Amino acid sequence: MSTVTMKVNGQSVSHDVADNTLLVSFLRETLRLTGTHVGCDTSQCGACVVHVNGASIKSCTMLAAQADGAEVTTIEGIANGDSLHPMQQAFHENHGLQCGFCTPGMIMSAIELVEKNKNLSDHDIRAGLEGNICRCTGYHNIVKSVQDAAQKMGG
Amino acid sequence: MPEGISEGIGASVRRKEDRKFITGKGRYTDDINRAGQLHAFFVRSDVAHATITSVNIKQAAAVAGVAAVYTGQDIADDGVGGLICGWVVPNRDGSATHEPPHPILAKDKVRYVGDHVAMVVADTLETAMAAAELVEVTYDVLPAVVDLASAATGAEIHEGMANNTYFDWELGDEAATADALSNAARVVTATMRNNRLIPNAMEPRAAIAEYDPIADSYVLHSTTQNPHLLRLVICAFVLSIPESKMQIVAPDVGGGFGSKIYLYAEEACCTWASKKLQRPIKWTADRTQAFLSDAHGRDHINNVQMALDKDNKIIGLRVDTLANLGSYLSAFAVVTPTYLHGTLLSGCYAIPAIYTNVKGIATTTAPVDAYRGAGRPEATFLLERMMNIAAAEIGMDPAEFRRLNFIPKDAFPYQTAVALQYDIGDYEAPLDRALEMINYKGFEGRRSEAAKRGKYRGIGLSSYIEACGIAPSAVVGALGGRVGLYESAVVRVDPTGTVSVFTGTHSHGQGHVTTFAQIVAEKLGIPLGNIEVVHGDTNRIPFGMGTYGSRSLAVGGTAISKAVDKVIEKGKIIAAHMLEAADSDMEFKDGKFTVAGTDKEKSFGEIALSAYVPHNFPHDRLEPGLEETAFYDPLNFTYPSGTHIAEVEIDPTTGVVEVVDWACCDDFGNLINPMIVEGQVHGGIAQGIGQALLENAHYDENGQLLTASYMDYCMPRADNFPSLKVDYTVTACTHNDLGVKGCGEAGAIASPPALINAVVDALSSLGVTDMTMPASPEKVWQAIHNAQTKAAE
């Protein structure tokens, strides 16, 4: 067991967890932030993407202990009160989600993608989301959503 | 409606359900925890086919934290029933489908890698997994049966089932078809392989079962597409529990595509054990378990003969199919390759004689069942490939060959040679539109331009029809179905005029909460925000049949429409009483009940209030309240149709196929929410392109699934697709109130042959005439290499 302390969605948290606890389990089971999902066991699907110190990370690939001292942002932490993050709004406006299971990871990946490069081509977006699998949308409206959000985020 | 017409039928309303999903507040089964819960983990067979000689649980049961380890013997000792088949067909000789027992934990034999052998229940998942490693199972290994073509002569999988054949079924007129083939000016033949797929909803299956000893009742949260069907099967056939003692809740469900229709062993075991241990029991599949044990899809071999007359009209079609159904008969394994496949073989074409024989074959692989399209993609693939093969043989443009053989638009209703009667359609309109969208005329220019860049460019069409919203129940029963295929709805108007809709179907991403509310908003003239749609909880909704087969709008939406009509009829009587008018003079429009030809009116809200505060109310004629139920059993399937066109470029140095353009035009009848419909089309196309280009479930000769993770099974990613061009034509369905047809599966049905036709077209100059799915870089490179080698010889 180790004590891990981090800031999650702006709040300091500190818990004793088994050393082999994955960050995603810490978020889902210890903190009950269940918006971050687990869709595979090989770090392929991207449903578990969160931001650790501003970078998008597959939280199934990282131990909670490795995030000790970090600032973690999950899908629950990106809206400003009732005001949605532009990426969330864009997914809603452009029908960028269906069953919603991949959506949190997709949104978290897309935010980082846009923050790094606001002049994204269609190809850049598709290549940039290669690590996130969606089975419902055919990605068409996800790409539209990211384009829309990129504009609103100052692209 | 007076305000917010933009919220009614035909409007691309943004989805009501989105907010919870985009803020991380969705509630999927694995998000639910219960106080005192235990975790289940299943010991699965690691061999494909074997007699179980012993199962030793002693060490595992002794691990600290393990509550119990159960085996097939425990299940048998308790008299627990097996999983059942929901539809059977007669054999050609009149005998019945062979339905071997399917125990929820294997006791004597295992029949596929992943078969359930023991269940370990512990206080944590980690403990259960660790203890499962200590369950010692010894096997007397038997030969695996993997190859579909030779499976009938393989080792016996089920005792007493000859030739590993579950059924041997036929449809159509064999003699007339033989005549057509012998009198034909040309017979085109081909063998097709429809590759095996794994559905891969992004949310793995999960369950949490709770038993209440005081009430002697259960609550099962499950990732199911149809809670009532699950309840019926688990209560009546497996665990012998009164249905009234079982509540099944399907909360948010993360995709299904067919794979979450059926009752699976895991949720039955958890429910059974929750009473044994008097603790909630939770189980969530990891992805590898999902690959191993979710019902797979497709997996056919089809031998096809098409007869053409001297004018290139199709005069006969014979299809002999082997369908791999795996180790056990899953619930709808039998209907998928038979009535959902054989009946589709006429496609959009006037074919006077058709005959098909389908053998349902057992192998030592996971059970195979309905996956998005279910039988119809397989039928459409073989037919639409044949259309291109035949067109190539006779030297005709594939679009014009299709047009020549289309059922003309003035020929409806059209009785096919394979049982279905199409109510309406116009197949040339979407063909013409799709050709225009992709600039078909300009294709050769694009091909030449690509050739200058060293790429082979090809174009491929698929003009499909599909049959969805299976019905009516009486016909379903006559054809061997053991369920009804109606749908239910309750429309409850509250005293303040808000409305709750309780639907028997279910949504796992298709946007029903919005689409269904739009129907009610349009009909009642009230804002969308005043309407709640409830689904997925057997204690709240009327008995319903769930979601699959593109039925939810055509069947479930129509049930809602009919319940709303009853509300309006009752409202008219209440309004007539209040306005002292005759019932027959009452009109309802834009949310107002008016006396025809006068300015006397009552708003919908006033009538709602009056129904629940019935001071001035026609008590002699009506009961108070304003809540109506409808069960709708359609007269026929709905028949969406359309044309999809793929354009690809192939890099001969790598064999990589790039999908560079896609245009489709579908006829789904009237559209309630075009934005949601378009999303369904996109998703269907993606799964179809996945089948044609990327995905394949591969077992080795020992029956080991080599594609049991996302490292090995190639899921479509964002960079596999171009932007998709989607448009519609409309012929309204003639037999439901909304004039709607199903749209959920069309994309997956239409797209694989379009893609493969494009690949073959791209390589046609090299002499390539066929390509099996998936058209992987290796296969495509090999085809190019072989063709070039042959040319050089």
Contacts of residue B20 in chain A, CB cutoff 8 Å? 100
Please name the residue of chain B whose CA is at the shortest distance from the CA of residue A27.
B31
CA distance B207 to B221: 5
Best of B15, B20, B23, B259 to disrupt the A interface by mutation (most A CBs within 10 Å)? Answer: B23
Show the tokens assigned to B122.
Answer: 């512990």
Q: Under an 8 A CB cutoff, do A135 and B22 touch? A: no
CA distance B781 to B712: 20
**Residues forming a β-bridge with A14:** A5
Contacts of residue A58 in chain B, CB cutoff 8 Å? none
B331 with B405: CB under 8 angstroms? no
pTM recorded for the entire structure: 0.97
Q: What distance in Å separates residue B533's CA from the closest CA in chain A?
A: 16
- In this predicted structure, what is the pLDDT of residue B793? 83
Residue located via tokens 């709708």? B632
pLDDT tens profile A87-100: 999 999 999 999 99
Q: Which residue from A97, A130, A135 is facing B718, i.e. has the nearest CB? A: A130
Contacts of residue B30 in chain A, CB cutoff 8 Å? 34, 38
Q: Under an 8 A CB cutoff, do B202 and A39 touch? A: yes
Show the tokens assigned to A82.
Answer: 């009732």
Q: Residue A3's closest CA among A69, A71, A73, A77?
A: A69
Please tell me what DSSP assigns to residue B55: E
Q: Residue B301's closest CA among B387, B368, B378?
A: B378
Q: What is the DSSP string of B210-249?
A: EEETTTTEEEEEE--S-HHHHHHHIIIIII---GGGEEEE
Percentage of chain A beyond pLDDT 70 is 99
Q: Would you say domain B297-470+636-792 falls under CATH 3.30.365.10?
A: yes
Q: Residue B749's closest CA among B321, B462, B414, B546?
A: B462
- In this predicted structure, what is the pLDDT of residue B5? 52
Count of CB contacts below 8 A, A vs B? 175
Q: What distance in Å separates residue A57's CA from the closest CA in chain B?
A: 17
Q: Under an 8 A CB cutoff, do A34 and B24 touch? A: yes
Q: What distance in Å separates residue A129's CA from the closest CA in chain B?
A: 6
Please name the residue of chain A whose CA is at the shortest distance from the CA of residue B508.
A99
CA distance B390 to B173: 22
Q: Which helix (H) or strand (E) holds A93?
A: helix A86-93
Q: Under an 8 A CB cutoff, do A41 and B709 touch? A: yes
Q: Under an 8 A CB cutoff, do A99 and B508 touch? A: yes
Q: Which residue from A44, A127, A141 is facing B711, i.e. has the nearest CB? A: A44
Q: Under an 8 A CB cutoff, do B25 and A139 touch? A: no
Question: Which residues of chain B register pLDDT less than 70?
Answer: 1-5
Best of B12, B13, B15, B18 to disrupt the A interface by mutation (most A CBs within 10 Å)? Answer: B18
Q: Under an 8 A CB cutoff, do B22 and A93 touch? A: no
B611 with B624: CB under 8 angstroms? yes
Residue located via tokens 């225009």? B436
CA distance A27 to B20: 18
Q: Which residue from B26, B33, B678 is facing A100, i.e. has the nearest CB? A: B26
Q: Which residue from A40, A75, A122 is facing B23, i.e. has the nearest CB? A: A75
CA distance B336 to B359: 12
Q: Which residue from B201, B709, B724 is facing A140, i.e. has the nearest CB? A: B724
Q: Under an 8 A CB cutoff, do A130 and B717 touch? A: yes
Q: Which residue from A76, A84, A99 is facing B203, i.e. has the nearest CB? A: A99
Q: Which residue from A39, A75, A104 is facing B287, i.e. has the nearest CB? A: A39
List, in order, residues 6 or more apart from B163 with CB less than 8 Å away: B152, B153
Whether the pLDDT of residue A118 is over 90: the answer is: no
- In this predicted structure, what is the pLDDT of residue B3? 45
Q: What distance in Å separates residue B715's CA from the closest CA in chain A?
A: 7
Cis ω before B472 (30° cut-off from 0): yes
Q: What distance in Å separates residue A74's CA from the closest CA in chain B?
A: 8
Best of A34, A72, A98 to disrupt the B interface by mutation (most B CBs within 10 Å)? Answer: A98
pLDDT tens profile B45-103: 999 999 999 999 999 999 999 999 999 999 999 999 999 999 999 999 999 999 999 99
Position B146, amino acid? V
Please name the residue of chain A whose CA is at the shortest distance from the CA of residue B688.
A138
Position B713, amino acid? Y
Q: Which residue from A39, A84, A142 is facing B203, i.e. has the nearest CB? A: A39
Please name the residue of chain B whose CA is at the shortest distance from the CA of residue A137.
B683
Contacts of residue B678 in chain A, CB cutoff 8 Å? 95
- In this predicted structure, what is the pLDDT of residue A155? 55
Q: Which residue from B22, B253, B715 is facing A99, i.e. has the nearest CB? A: B253
Q: Under an 8 A CB cutoff, do A44 and B709 touch? A: yes
Q: Would you say domain B32-142+202-255+260-293 falls under CATH 3.90.1170.50?
A: yes
Please tell me what DSSP assigns to residue B692: I
B758 with B646: CB under 8 angstroms? yes
Contacts of residue A107 in chain B, CB cutoff 8 Å? 22
Residue located via tokens 């697709």? B721
Please name the residue of chain A whose CA is at the shortest distance from the CA of residue B20.
A100
Q: Under an 8 A CB cutoff, do B682 and A137 touch? A: yes
Largest alpha-carbon pair distance within chain B?
A: 96
Contacts of residue B687 in chain A, CB cutoff 8 Å? 135
Q: Under an 8 A CB cutoff, do B202 and A102 touch? A: yes
B732 with B668: CB under 8 angstroms? no
Domain extents for chain B?
Answer: 5-25+486-632, 32-142+202-255+260-293, 297-470+636-792
Q: What distance in Å separates residue A91's CA from the closest CA in chain B?
A: 8
B227 with B538: CB under 8 angstroms? yes
Domain extents for chain A?
Answer: 2-77, 86-152
Contacts of residue A97 in chain B, CB cutoff 8 Å? 18, 21-22
What's the ipTM? 0.98
Show the tokens assigned to B17.
Answer: 């359900």
Q: Under an 8 A CB cutoff, do B22 and A132 touch? A: no
- CATH class, domain A2-77, is alpha beta
Q: Under an 8 A CB cutoff, do A126 and B719 touch? A: yes
CA A10 to chain CA mean position, Å: 15
Please name the residue of chain B whose CA is at the shortest distance from the CA of residue A101.
B254
User: Can B5-25+486-632 and B297-470+636-792 be said to share one CATH topology?
Assistant: yes
- In this predicted structure, what is the pLDDT of residue B110? 98
Q: Under an 8 A CB cutoff, do B24 and A45 touch? A: no
Give backbone dihedrals phi and psi of B413, rounded to 5 degrees, phi first: -65, 140
- CATH class, domain B5-25+486-632, is alpha beta
Q: What distance in Å separates residue A149's CA from the closest CA in chain B?
A: 14
Q: Under an 8 A CB cutoff, do A101 and B675 touch? A: no
Q: Under an 8 A CB cutoff, do A84 and B718 touch? A: no
Q: Under an 8 A CB cutoff, do A92 and B14 touch? A: yes
Q: Which residue from B30, B679, B709 is facing A95, i.e. has the nearest CB? A: B679
Q: Under an 8 A CB cutoff, do B14 and A79 touch? A: no
Cα angle B234, B125, A77 (rounded to 5 degrees) comes to 100
Q: Under an 8 A CB cutoff, do B710 and A35 touch? A: no
B458 with B760: CB under 8 angstroms? yes
CA distance B271 to B280: 9
Q: Under an 8 A CB cutoff, do B25 and A76 touch? A: yes
Please name the residue of chain A whose CA is at the shortest distance from the CA of residue B719.
A126
Q: Would you say domain A86-152 falls under CATH 1.10.150.120?
A: yes
